[in-house]
């Protein structure tokens, strides 16, 4: 049996056509356990009084801060919008209040670095046509029970732009992801319509260069996967996830890669 990350011609054709691909059993139970155990340790050591940074895809412009900027080279903790009461106090334990941890897990932490830089991840990227792939960011996403926030329709190339466009998302399910606990949804073949808008960092902060289009929710299909499955996401694919209103979390580890061969990283990302 070959390397898990090596795509077959059929898989590559499916990805090019649909804009996403599900690879079952990409991560082993041992790898999943190692990453979840490591994150448990990080949360135990985290002091929530050191930051009140909230992550939101609805109010990114308003809520973006220096803490978020600096997270590109650090391991930072971001709370759910609904984690706090009117007095600014956590309504539940910190372990159930965090939206995500990012964005340099793949560089700083040995456990996450081992998976992120594994042969199967690099083989997958080479199978997609990358020449000199680089993981540009990583996130551990919790999708907390009851308060796990919505991620509005978006394209990854909007945020991680290169010329030409090369961003690919790698979304690893660390728990089963279902329509009940907030799995991914996508519009198949939407990547063929190109990039809709960019999220730009300027002198006065960050902003989208144009309004978001309105999408027909009937066009989205759910991507329900078992723990260990990897969802490969084209940078121009329109995708989203809904709030988690269930009693079960939906942990995932997400990576984004870009090519560095013949590609220019946009300075206003």
Of the candidates 137, 231, 152, 259, the residue with the CA atom closest to the CA atom of residue 196:
152
List, for residues 187-200, the tens digit of each pLDDT value.
999 999 999 999 99
Q: What percent of the chain has pLDDT over 90?
A: 78
User: Exposed, middle or buried by CB within 10 Å (0-12, 13-18, 19+), for 152?
Assistant: middle
Of the candidates 99, 230, 220, the residue with the CA atom closest to the CA atom of residue 154:
220
Decide: helix, strand or coil at residue 220.
coil
List, for residues 69-87, the tens digit of each pLDDT value.
788 899 999 888 888 888 8
- Please state the rounded mean pLDDT for residues 146-173: 96
What does pTM read for this prediction?
A: 0.93
Domains within the chain, CATH numbers bracketed: 9-28+100-265 (2.60.120.620)
**What is the enclosing helix (H) or strand (E) of 77?**
strand 75-79
Dihedral sign for Cα 57, 63, 65, 67, please.
negative
């Amino acid at each position: 049996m070959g390397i898990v990350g090596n795509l077959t011609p059929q898989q590559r054709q499916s990805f090019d056509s649909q804009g996403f691909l599900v690879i079952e059993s990409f991560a082993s139970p041992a790898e999943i356990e190692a990453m979840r155990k490591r994150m448990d340790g990080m949360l135990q050591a985290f002091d929530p009084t050191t930051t009140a940074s909230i992550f939101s895809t609805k109010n990114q412009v308003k809520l973006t801060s220096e803490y978020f900027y600096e997270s590109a080279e650090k391991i930072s903790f971001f709370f759910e919008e609904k984690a706090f009461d009117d007095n600014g106090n956590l309504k539940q334990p910190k372990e159930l209040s965090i939206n995500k941890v990012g964005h340099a897990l793949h560089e700083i932490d040995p456990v996450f670095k081992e998976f992120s830089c594994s042969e199967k991840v690099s083989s997958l990227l080479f199978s997609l046509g990358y020449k000199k792939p680089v993981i540009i960011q990583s996130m551990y996403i919790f999708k907390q029970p009851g308060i796990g926030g919505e991620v509005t329709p978006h394209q990854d190339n909007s945020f991680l732009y290169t010329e030409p466009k090369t961003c690919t998302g790698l979304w690893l399910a660390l728990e089963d992801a279902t329509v009940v606990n907030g799995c991914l949804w996508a519009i198949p073949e939407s990547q063929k319509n190109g990039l809709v808008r960019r999220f730009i960092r300027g002198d006065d902060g960050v902003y989208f260069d144009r309004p978001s289009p309105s999408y027909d929710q009937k066009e989205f299909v759910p991507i329900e996967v078992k723990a260990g499955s990897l969802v490969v996401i084209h940078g121009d694919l329109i995708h989203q996830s809904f709030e988690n209103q269930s009693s079960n979390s939906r942990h995932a580890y997400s990576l984004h890669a870009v090519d560095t061969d013949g590609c220019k990283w946009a300075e206003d990302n």
